Structure 1
Amino acid sequence: MKKTLKRLRIWDNRTQVHDSVDRNLRHAFIELGKMKDKLALSDAIIEKAAYIYRKALDKKLVRGRSITALIAASLYAACRDTKTPRTLNDITAAINIKRKDLALCYRILVKELDLKMPVVDSVQCVARIASKAELSEKTKRYAVKILKKAKQNEISAGKDPMGIAASALYISALRMGMNCSQKIIAQAAGVTEVTLRNRCKGLKLLDT
């Protein structure tokens, strides 16, 4: 009888754990669906994010952490992995979490899951920022020219690709005589105006 009761308790515990995991996944995937719609992301990126989150769940990284923040970090990691230009600010704007919580969870995922993130080329960010800020094709082309010079001179090394791309576009817009403020371009890139101004300092030397 004692053995039977012990087995029943084990089965009950397993069922509770299984139910808990199912509830966790349902919650996470509902949040993922919301972000997919708001950020206009492909099914492939969402599947990648779900895969990363499941790995985090298997390693028990969810314990003591927000499910929403961790699934958002998984999505950001999926975007980085597929070189899809989405910033931390884009993700936080799509779901109700703080930027610092998202950044922390992302760092944990990279470290604990040993994720190898490719470096995003700032040139890839130009089209998206320019589209949001409604900049001309000519402005985009000149910004790409500046960024290629920056890469050759190693000015862009280690810098946030969205910030450096935004700065190149701002300098390019000025060169083309476009009436476009720092605020508009910074918002389009999801960076601060301070970041944009700081990155402009180095890039202006290349605008010759």
Structure 2
Amino acid sequence: MLTDGSTGERFCQHCGNVVVERIEDPRAEQRSFADSSSDKSRTGAPNSLAIHDRGLATTIGSEGRDAAGKSLSASMKQDMRRLRIWDSRSQTQEKAGRSLRAAFMELDKLKDKLTLSDSVIERAAQIYRKAAGKGLVRGRSVLDVIGAATYAACRDTGTPRTLNDFADELNVKRKSISKSYRMLVNELDLRMPVIDAVSCISKIASKIGLDEKTKRYALEMLKDASEREETAGKGPMGLAAAALYASCLKYNVKVSQREISIASGVTEVTIRNRYRAFIEPDEFGKNMQEIKPQAVAAPTA
């Protein structure tokens, strides 16, 4: 698909079929005021649920000039400075506003630490606002609820993040986040999709530094097991870790269960149990038997 900026059309480069005739310009509107400001955009930042006031609050500029570009007097500058102070205080005067501001500051930190997308952050802010509107945040830790809301947003958007990731970055217990997550699912009637183990392969493999051949074989193992409907009821991260471990044994990659356990966040016992299920012919098919001889040589590497 190609986009013509002059005509505003989006069309196929092979057949010439025009999909969209007029595309909206996502850039900010420009102004032509005669001032010395380098920012020519007429509008501000877009609205966002991840801001305590949704980005709708206005700000009083710090430039000491009026609309015509003339310099303000000393008394007027003092009045404007005082108005700016009261304007900033009035935005977080209510307790609910201060709570949202503190929660979304932690959400912005999580975005950078866990490399989350804007869609995940918007979904997390929406879930947290619903919980705050129903009074579910009252009496609970803000870190626990915002961590649970972000984890629910990751589950909803298919982003592979675990509870241990949120517990480590927020410096709280995993049990408290999981408790808040169950509360949000039950009280807000959320329908969380099941995480696919295939999406967890790339996350674990990138931390260990595995090659593409090893990842591809692990993906084939998981897809074959998923088609047989034999992965139901098992943790996706444990299945992905076991598939990668079996693939490493097949291609003689020097990776231990300990390294995969640290990268995936599951225990070595879980990896061994899922690995035994992979090499059992009666459970995952006869095509998995080819990795069994190497598994006997070093089952607990």
Tell me by how many angstroms 1:154 deviates: 2.5
Q: Deviations over 1:93-119 (max 9, x none)?
A: 111110000111111111110111111
2:253 matched to which residue of 1?
A: 178
2:118 matched to which residue of 1?
A: 43
Q: Deviations over 1:108-157 (max 9, x none)?
A: 11111011111111111111111111111111111011111221332210
Q: Does 1:156 align with 2:231?
A: yes
Larger RCO, structure (CA 8 Å, separation 6 or more): 1
Please report the TM-score for the alignment, with normalisation by the length of structure 2.
Answer: 0.62
2:214 to 128, 136, 139: 139
2:175 matched to which residue of 1?
A: 100
Other structure's SS at 2:255 match: coil
1:64 to 139, 157, 160: 139
2:107 matched to which residue of 1?
A: 32
Q: Which runs of 5+ in 2 are unaligned?
A: 1-89, 290-301
- Letter of the structure 1 residue corresponding to residue 261 of structure 2: A
**Structure of larger gyration radius:** 2
Q: Which runs of 5+ in 1 are unaligned?
A: 1-14
1:119 matched to which residue of 2?
A: 194
- Letter of the structure 1 residue corresponding to residue 115 of structure 2: A
CA distance in 2, matches of 1:105, 1:127: 28
Is the Cα–Cα contact under 8 Å of residues 155 and 202 in structure 1 kept in the other structure?
no
CA distance in 1, matches of 2:246, 2:190: 35
| Identity over aligned pairs, percent | 56
CA distance in 2, matches of 1:88, 1:194: 19
1:167 matched to which residue of 2?
A: 242
CA distance in 1, matches of 2:269, 2:109: 31
Tell me by how many angstroms 1:39 deviates: 0.3
CA distance in 2, matches of 1:177, 1:73: 39
More helix by share: 1
2:96 matched to which residue of 1?
A: 21
2:128 matched to which residue of 1?
A: 53
Please report the TM-score for the alignment, with normalisation by the length of structure 1.
Answer: 0.88
Count the aligned residue pairs.
192
